[in-house]
Amino acid sequence: CVYVANNVDGTLSDSLTDVVPVGVGPEAVLVSPDGSVVYVANTDDMTVSVIDAATKAVMSTFFAGLSPRGLAYGPCLADLVGAPDDPTPDPTPVVGPAYTG
């Protein structure tokens, strides 16, 4: 399955037929190792959308700050980290806990 961040209309697509509304300016997508959760970095509203991959529903959206442009898991997959748009001494601040079900 491939997920596409549609920056212009603020949606996330996983095929030509499924569209998931997310925040403003989706920039990056991260899929959980088991494929059950999809995270979307919404650069223009400085949030991260958390999506249930099976239902294509947004489970939550949280403020990430500093216009996240990339997402990755922290050590041991316990934290979600983001690469901000604004250069800082710490380029990958923790933006929230990874969804654990």
Beta 68-73 vs 79-84: how paired, if at all? antiparallel
Residues 57-66 have pLDDT tens digits of 999 998 887 7
pTM: 0.75
Query: What residue type is 87 in one-letter code?
Result: P
| pLDDT tens-place values along the chain, 101 residues long | 677 777 788 888 776 667 899 999 998 889 988 889 999 999 899 888 999 999 999 999 988 877 888 888 877 776 777 777 666 555 545 456 666 55
